[in-house]
Amino acid sequence: MRRIRLGVNVDHVATLRQARGTTYPDPVLAAGLCEMAGADQVTVHLREDRRHIQERDVRILRQTVQTVLNLELAANEDVLSIACDVKPDLATLVPERRQELTTEGGLAVVGRETEVSDVVARLKAAGIRVSLFVNPDVEAVEASARCGAQQVEIHTGFYAEARGAEQALELKRIRLAASAGARLGMSVAAGHGLDYVNSRAVCAIHQVEELNIGHAIMGRAFFVGMQEAVREMIALMSEEEVRHRAR
């Protein structure tokens, strides 16, 4: 039976810690709680400006995560060298701007295949599986395959922010991009802006194998606890899987 995997992004636990410069709350502890609740993957983004996750977190998580450690990173030398040393199970290349509150869009791959291919090859040579976080565009997915990526993560932020007919169009873009990724032999993930409501339609896309969700689960955890927030999301995803198969 097919089940979409859930990757939980624990960056915002570190955001709260860094706001006061304390040693708590610890994203390493949060990751363990997520795994105990059934999460299939722990995702963290080591940014160049270290606004939340720190190098220390990544190194300890590499030792403690029992499922899959997914390290999101931009293609800059500082973080790349750490990734090649730490060797997460999966490295997801994302765009990054210091001024942004959160990732604003997918990685620019089209027209930059040579540059991106070099980074992908370097990570793969270190024994790391590579994913590219791209906009829901077939052309971007095809370029990702040419770069040697083993996975694409479809950016769902535009869909999450849209409403009505516009949201339906964005969902169609995600569906077409996911189909292209599967056709090209890549694993297909989706993430950004997904919550306990809008993730339902994405779960119904057969080619999507994994969702990466952070903000919504962390926000829910404030009220019900980390493990219950993760369990609720897994239950929702499983429910949508059953409904999809019944169609």
Active site residues: 45, 72, 192
What's the one-letter identity of residue 42? V
Alpha carbon distance 170, 202 (integer Å) = 11
What is the distance between the terminal CA atoms of the chain, rounded to a whole angstrom?
15
Alpha carbon distance 181, 137 (integer Å) = 10
Which two three-digit tokens encode residue 239? 């429910």
Cβ neighbour number for residue 242 with a 10 Å cutoff? 9
Q: Which residues contact 225 (CB under 8 A, 6 or more apart)?
A: none
CA-closest candidate to residue 230, choices 213, 247, 246 = 213
CA torsion sign, 235 to 237 to 239 to 242?
negative
